[in-house]
Structure 1
Amino acid sequence: MHYKHIKAPATKRIALVAHDHMKPILADWCATHQEKLARHELWSTGTTGNIVKQGSGLTPQRFLSGPMGGDQQIGAYIAEQKLDMLIFFWDPLASMPHDPDVKALLRIAAVWNIPVACNPSSADLLIASPLLDESYSYRVPDYEAYETHRNE
């Protein structure tokens, strides 16, 4: 695979996702970091977005609920380089009927090299990073080069 460098914008496009038992924890985390998060563009799955709004006053743009395709919509936005960070508080102790969607979302975030936080501690480190409010260069797959090479 060939790679290229692109610039993350200073105003990040952040996806917020949480499993059912983690939604109140994410809402509390968002309330704690409301001032910093308000400077960025927020996206979420449907139910999570409602709970974040009620718990923090932030109003993320909402996709469908996760089990109804919201996880996949977020994954598509990541692949299209329309999201810059994923905050996904997942519950490792609960079985999820849409577990393949969750794994696909985490995989696509890794493929496109965006920062991911899966719990409040890692989210705290991301939100405290000086890169949060700055543009920075990072490496992503060069899909055009991949297509060209594949068709040779």
Structure 2
Amino acid sequence: MSELTLPPEPEPENAGPCPYLDTEFVAEFNGQRVGEVKTSSEEPHPTCFFYRPDGDLQLQVRVYVGEEDVARALVDAAAPVETSNPTSQPTGWEGGYESNDDGAVYAVFKGGNAVVVTTNQPQSVKARTVATEAIANLRI
């Protein structure tokens, strides 16, 4: 079996808004004001970067639409099966979540779709809430 090549890490390249998340929603559920929103150049599903007013990144939402093996591998890279807590929320999506001193990650996939949310907040429930909202707003 050949080694999967994952897409490169997305970079913030364009001014927002995020097509999946309202800035006010992110501010409310991540618990910090949003100073700026940027997106990556991937179309039609860019990664969204939400920054605090001081310029530090507070939340990132990466969306992948493509091959199931790649979607699963992206989720496992963000929230490794061996170390993260398993999740199946929202219904039909699978993945994991974990927290550390730098924040939390919530990563899930369904078929060839993956959503990975990283936050500077240590409570994984914040990342899960944002992931669930992004998934509800995806046009896939």
Give TM-score, length-normalised by structure 1. Answer: 0.26
Whichever structure has more strand as a proportion of its residues is 2
Whichever structure has more helix as a proportion of its residues is 1
Higher RCO by CA contacts (8 Å cutoff, separation 6 or greater): 1
